[in-house]
A and B are shown apart, each in its own frame.
Chain A
Amino acid sequence: MTELKQLYQETILDHNRAPRNFGRLEAPGLQRAEGFNPLCGDRLTVYLHLEKELIRSILFEGSGCAISKASASLMTATVKGRSIASTHELFEAFHRLITGAGTEQDGFVLGKLAVFSGVCDFPSRVKCASLPWHTLMAALKAKETPQPVVSTE
């Protein structure tokens, strides 16, 4: 049970039950991208509103497992108000964390996102945690034109 407890930490279960920033953003000039995991059918859309180099507002909607939902929820809560450059750094640290290559410094940078450290023991679940981030990266690149669906495969 210990590995399981490490995976399904209370924060993750809480964000799964009551995801933050869940919904559809409708504003002129918004950027969006869709993510899809063909393995399990998880789907989500990330909506962004950028102001200069800052993520002014971010919402997501979709359906998925606890890991992907909590990851999307915590991601949106963490990057809201951040600069694009710092969001990219965060993503890199997060990716190292969930693939078991995280450093002590990453832990400091990631803050609350460190609750996903248990994911690296479950290789089939790494994509669940990373799907929202890949989708966010695609949304950052999208300039009002709809982006192709991001796939984990």
Chain B
Amino acid sequence: MGRVNNHSAAGVTALGWDVWNIRRDFPILKQKIHGKPLIYLDNAATAQKPHQVIEAVNRFYLEDCSNIHRGVHTLSERATKAYENAREKVRQFINAKSNKEIIFVRGATEAINLVAQAFGRTTVGAMDEIVLSSMEHHSNIVPWQMLCEEKGAHLRVIPMNEEGDLNLDKVNLPFNERTKLVALTHVSNAIGTINPIRKVIEAAHLRNIPVLIDGAQSAPHFRVDVQQLGCDFYVFSGHKLYGPTGVGVLYGKQSLLERMPPYQGGGDMIRSVTFEKTVFNELPYKFEAGTPNISGVTGLGAAIDYVHSVGLEQIEPYERSLTQYALEQLATYPWIRLIGRPRERVSVISFVVDGIHPHDVGTILDQEGIAIRTGHHCAQPVMEHFGLSATCRLSLAFYNTREEIDALVGALKKAREVFSNDGA
């Protein structure tokens, strides 16, 4: 498949990081799109899967396929073990206190909806307030809006400044006696900002307000320790962490989860059922009604193993240097405008090209084999803040290279050519 061997020294760092070796783990990266090598720069939408994950999912269906928590037969025992092992891997990954605090869901979106339903509906009342930030993904806005509508409650929004950092002065933290929850993203999916969430969590906890952190864009990039952060809920998706789609995690403090009613009813979440009364199962099963995504959870476990084998302590500096390189390259050209200059960021970069709509940029880059995201990134309030309807967004993973960023810049120049040749 034409593996490139004349790679740059930049791909192999002093730490022994060999990006070309890592790329071999991702079979999808070997393909061509429109005759050009695929350059995948849309990792914030979903990350590609290493063969270790693909094989784990395959192995489940080839060898262990069975339902969990019920059969006494060997397959069921194997499947149950793999499923519960994955829970333990997730617990260690985010350093939760107990496995009871790890609930498997479909993704970050479902985790937020679970909290909105099970926690929100029992806690939030008329005239109460939920605090969000202006850089939330729609998935951390809409469930709260629906809840507010039902309860007659209100949303309050922490503003963002010109650079794309949250304004966290005391006056901008709209906490009061009516605030029932803070729901805040750890990292902006549109512009890459890493929010100083500890500061917000501490301020909220002074008033005994629980805090939910949307970790969809943080879990893949740096070490997260929920106990150190002190957050009450933390949610993330497996597929952005090199795992399968359709599986995600809700972490919640045990004391809060104990108090919350179930989210959905069904099998597996019960202890006993009669037509008169159902006794619910204990944590975490109380929140996992029905047959879960067993292959997905197993795959997520394999993804966490894989990330450990690469090492977050290696991933973080490599992604940081790659991001720095991309920012420098893009800033070279006056016709490229970077959107947001946050103090701290991950490898998510939004930009616009003078005179070319992001959608047109996306189509032209695709012809060059380059996948980026164009549009509003499910964060329309962020777009509105910057006075735009859409941006181009590149988002890097640890398998991306400087050569790919060079190719991106080359393709952007080509887009300019396509758009400047008219009428000539």
A residues contacting B by CB (< 8 A) are 1, 3-5, 7-8, 10, 13-14, 17, 39-43, 63-67, 69, 122, 124-125, 128
Stretch at the interface among B65-73, B181-189, B307-315, B353-361: B353-361
Task: Tell me which of B367, B376, B390, B422 contacts A3 (CB under 8 A).
Answer: B367
Question: B383 interface residue, CB < 8 Å from A?
Answer: yes
**Min CB gap A9→B, angstroms:** 9
CA of A3 to CA of B33, assembled, Å: 14
| 8 nearest A-B pairs in the assembled complex, by CB-CB distance | A13-B422, A65-B357, A65-B359, A41-B389, A41-B376, A66-B360, A40-B375, A41-B390
Task: Tell me which of A41, A122, A124 contacts B383 (CB under 8 A).
Answer: A41
A7 touches B422 (CB 8 A): no
Q: Is the interface of A mostly helix, strand, loop or mixed?
A: helix
Given A10-B422, A66-B356, A40:B390 Cβ within 8 A = yes
The residues of A that contact B374 with a CB separation of less than 8 Å are: 40
Q: Which residue of A lies closest to B419 (CB)?
A: A13
CA of A122 to CA of B374, assembled, Å: 15
Q: Which residue of A lies closest to B383 (CB)?
A: A41
A125 touches B363 (CB 8 A): yes
Question: B380 interface residue, CB < 8 Å from A?
Answer: yes
The residues of A that contact B336 with a CB separation of less than 8 Å are: none
Compute the total of residue contacts between A and B using a CB distance below 8 Å: 57
B422 touches A14 (CB 8 A): yes
Given A40-B375, A41-B390, A1:B367 Cβ within 8 A = yes
B residues contacting A by CB (< 8 A) are 356-360, 363-364, 367, 374-376, 380, 383, 389-390, 418-419, 421-423
CA of A3 to CA of B366, assembled, Å: 12
B380 touches A41 (CB 8 A): yes
Q: Which residue of B lies closest to A69 (CB)?
A: B357
Q: Which residue of A lies closest to B355 (CB)?
A: A17
The residues of B that contact A125 with a CB separation of less than 8 Å are: 359, 363
B389 touches A4 (CB 8 A): no
Q: Which residue of A lies closest to B423 (CB)?
A: A14
A67 touches B360 (CB 8 A): yes
Complex A-B: 8 CB contacts under 8 Å: A1-B367, A14-B423, A40-B359, A41-B375, A41-B380, A65-B359, A69-B357, A125-B363
The residues of B that contact A69 with a CB separation of less than 8 Å are: 357
Q: Which residue of A lies closest to B356 (CB)?
A: A66
**Min CB gap A125→B, angstroms:** 6
**Min CB gap B10→A, angstroms:** 30
Q: Which residue of A lies closest to B391 (CB)?
A: A41
B389 touches A13 (CB 8 A): no
CA of A128 to CA of B363, assembled, Å: 12
The residues of B that contact A65 with a CB separation of less than 8 Å are: 357-360
**Min CB gap A18→B, angstroms:** 10
The residues of B that contact A64 with a CB separation of less than 8 Å are: 357, 359
Residue of A17, A39, A40, A42 with highest tally of chain B CB at under 10 A: A40
Residue of B358, B359, B389, B421 with highest tally of chain A CB at under 10 A: B359
The residues of B that contact A66 with a CB separation of less than 8 Å are: 356-357, 360, 419
The residues of B that contact A67 with a CB separation of less than 8 Å are: 359-360
Further contacts, 6 of them, CB under 8 A, given A4-B418, A10-B421, A13-B422: A5-B418, A8-B419, A40-B374, A65-B358, A66-B356, A66-B360
Task: Tell me which of A10, A17, A43 contacts B389 (CB under 8 A).
Answer: A43
**Min CB gap A123→B, angstroms:** 11
A128 touches B423 (CB 8 A): no
B389 touches A63 (CB 8 A): yes
Given A7-B363, A64-B357, A67-B360, A39:B375 Cβ within 8 A = yes
CA of A4 to CA of B390, assembled, Å: 21
